[in-house]
Amino acid sequence: MKIVTAEQMRSIDRRATENFGIPSIILMETAARAVADVIRTRFCEARRIAIFCGTGQNGGDGLAVARLLASQGVASEILLLGTPDRFRGDAQANLEICARLNLPLRWVADQASLTEAILHASQTALIVDAIFGTGLNRPAEGLHGDAIRAINALARTVISVDIPSGLNASSPEIHEPVVRADLTVTFAQLKIATVFDPAAACCGETIVADIGIPQAAVDEEEIGLSFSAPADFRKLVAPRAKSTHKGSYGHVGIIGGSEGRSGAAILAARGAVRGGAGLVTVITDHETARIVDTLSIESMSMAVDFRSADMNEFLEKIRKFTSLVIGPGLSDDEETYAFLRAALERIEQPAVIDATAINAYADGLATLNVSGGRRILTPHPGELARALKTDTSSINGNRIVSARRAAAVSKSVVVLKGHQTLIAEPRGNTAVNPTGNPGMATGGMGDVLSGLLGALIAREADLFLAARAGVFLHGLAADLLAAETSDIGLTAMDVADRLPAAVSRVRAQTHE
């Protein structure tokens, strides 16, 4: 599912009409029918509703909704913010139809008529917000602003048409006043404001309605932002062929662990094992190797003294691995950093770069992938802030821009962790992950993810696809665990152990 700006959505609408000959009033009719269907199925007991309509296309949608509901015996208080002369095009056509059907039209042009309109709305159980659509790019003010504040004060169930009035569809930011909807029926594609908080929190549940826009009209827009969905990963979760063996699923090497940080390497190994790797080996120091051998019985270990290791010999030892996970639990010191930088210049396998391995490039990401290798970076905002020489608040305030910049500079796929984890690739294509929950805010979750990604890239050449799949499955495993227990007390090891169940859930969803 693509995520678009208001400008992109207008372009798609225009292309559907001009290139494919679909009249805009047909698109409006289909959109209104989608909203009416939601009202009839979700709120079948509501026999009288209030519909607030602006004078633009969004108001036209609202008028069409009122007409469709009237044919089903649902009475609507149609509250029109403006005057008849402000209506144009398809919205005017629907206004004229409603007038000819003698549907009750209440005009709201001043404070007195607004007060009367709010009184009528207070006597209904459901409010439809069709004041402003995706074209608004400034704060709502005057009578419209007052109407939005009054809708919120009514404390009724609110359905917004396409987007809650007051939001800028192209921005996650909120500029009051904004309708607080319980449910939003958005058309054709997700909008930035319906996905990213804090704006998305105003949308309540969001339903994307197909209004008949041809897929070609969307594809021609070349949208670089999308929402990950189970169907994207169908081939990565397909049942295994009966003739396969452990060699068919790759050998993951995990370069990680150190004194006091053995758990990170163990969790990464668990993520790789539960993620489907055929073999897993943890490459670590001698003391940590003994701990790994005791606590990670499905994996193997390889003891290496990183400070004194000969680089040529080390590279020869790790040549057998299909993929590498580099960084979880390694010591954060200059000797380790220097070793990692030297190794990464020559490592040929696809690799997940995490934790200490990212910190090794605090002087900048431009030198991280000078060899042009196949790399996935998995920073949290603090790690990325150091690598991009900025601060964490700047990363969090501009997550899409930050992830894309990091991917371009490092010539790697970047997984920017956090709420709504972002996955960006060097050309700018970016995916938003919908799975996961606050219970994941505990140590070791990122290590499990790195191991899982290592397992996926051991058998999938498309690193962008593998990264999106891994992040989705990781979050879904945590969601399954939270559903069984709660969002408090989740552990990274338990999330790793739910990965097979997450695969099963995705398989089921892709065959529905």
218-250: pLDDT as tens digits: 999 989 999 999 999 988 999 999 999 999 999
pLDDT digits (tens, 9 = 90+) for 247-275: 999 999 999 999 999 999 999 999 999 99
Domain spans of the chain, in order of start = 3-222, 245-510
Query: What pLDDT score was predicted for residue 48?
Result: 87
Show Cβ contacts of residue 304 under 8 Å, excluding neighbours closer than 6 positions. 283, 284, 285, 314, 317
Identify the DSSP state of 365: G
Which helix (H) or strand (E) segment is 176 a member of? none
Taking the chain (512 residues) in runs of 10, the rounded mean pLDDT of each run is 94 96 97 96 87 96 96 92 94 97 94 95 94 92 96 95 97 95 97 95 97 95 93 91 94 97 97 98 96 96 90 95 97 94 95 96 90 94 93 93 96 96 97 97 97 97 96 98 96 97 92 60
Which residues in 55-144 belong to E strands, given as ranges?
75-81, 105-108, 126-130
- Distance of alpha carbon 476 from alpha carbon 275, whole angstroms: 13
Rounded CA separation 91/28 (Å): 9
C-alpha angle 420/31/233, rounded to 5°?
35
Q: What is the per-residue pLDDT for 511?
A: 65
In contact, 410 and 373? CB cutoff 8 Å: no
| CB within 8 Å of 461: residues ≥ 6 apart | none
Q: Please name the residue that has the structure tokens 């809708």.
A: 151
DSSP secondary structure code for residue 166 in this structure:
T
pLDDT value at residue 45: 81
* CATH class for the domain made up of 245-510: alpha beta
In sequence order, which ranges of 101-229 are alpha helices (DSSP H)? 111-122, 142-154, 192-195, 215-219
**What fold, for 3-222?**
Rossmann fold (3.40.50)
- The first and second tokens of residue 78, run together, are 């149609």
Is 3-222's fold the same as 245-510's?
no
Tell me if the pTM is above 0.85: yes
Our measurement of the distance from residue 273's CA atom to the centroid of its chain's CA atoms, rounded to an integer in Å, reads 26
